[in-house]
Chains A and B, each alone.
Chain A
Amino acid sequence: DAGITQSPRHKVTETGTPVTLRCHQTENHRYMYWYRQDPGHGLRLIHYSYGVKDTDKGEVSDGYSVSRSKTEDFLLTLESATSSQTSVYFCAISESLTTADTQYFGPGTRLTVL
């Protein structure tokens, strides 16, 4: 299994509070991704990173920001959580940018916003 951990694994928070989710990898892969998983929608890309300090938006980036100060860590921040951000969040990594490359997923973080 690829060495990817996510913390916390579960979090309950209140509307309007800031939340930061952490993804940590030990594979030294250059590319990292944050997805959210919602019933009926599969996985949707929030943000991705193609190197330290290099990030870009995915298809559902509104309300989220990311940072990557080290190769191994990719942080996802909800500046002011809303109930619509209740979801399961997955981090993924890949070794290269080629479209045939496999993505390896972390175990997920279940976030509930009350």
Chain B
Amino acid sequence: AQSVTQLGSHVSVSEGALVLLRCNYSSSVPPYLFWYVQYPNQGLQLLLKYTSAATLVKGINGFEAEFKKSETSFHLTKPSAHMSDAAEYFCAVSGGGFKTIFGAGTRLFVKA
């Protein structure tokens, strides 16, 4: 069985500051991990995904995430936040059969 925990339902950063969104997963099989972003009144779109090829995964818009098996984590980072990064971010895990399990989401606020 798989599960995902996103730490912090809301994160607020200043423009130009580091963005760190935390995700921990549980999986009984080697997982595939995803980060999706949702802008207001839109569907989710893929930021990046881990499929075991490399532990540091680079995505769109300057985001990256590192898979750490020992910590069962897949945290999302961006060195410098932009106002346009304000959105809700979802971590997801897939590891068996058909199902992708989504976390509860973290809303990112960016202050000018």
Contact = CB atoms under 8 A, between A and B. Distances in A.
Nearest to A50: B98
B105 A42 contact: yes
B13 interface: no
Contacts of B98: 48, 50, 56, 97
A106 B43 contact: yes
How many of chain A's residues touch chain B, expressed as a range?
20 to 34
B9 A40 contact: yes
B90 A42 contact: yes
The B contact surface, by secondary structure, is: strand
Interface in A55-114: 56, 58-59, 90, 92, 97, 99-100, 102-108
Contacts, number: 55
B49 A100 contact: yes
Contacts of B34: 102
A4 B100 CA distance: 19
A105 B49 contact: no
Interface in B79-112: 90, 94-100, 102-105
Interface of A: 4, 40-45, 48, 50, 56, 58-59, 90, 92, 97, 99-100, 102-108
Interface of B: 4, 9, 32, 34, 36, 41-46, 49, 51, 90, 94-100, 102-105
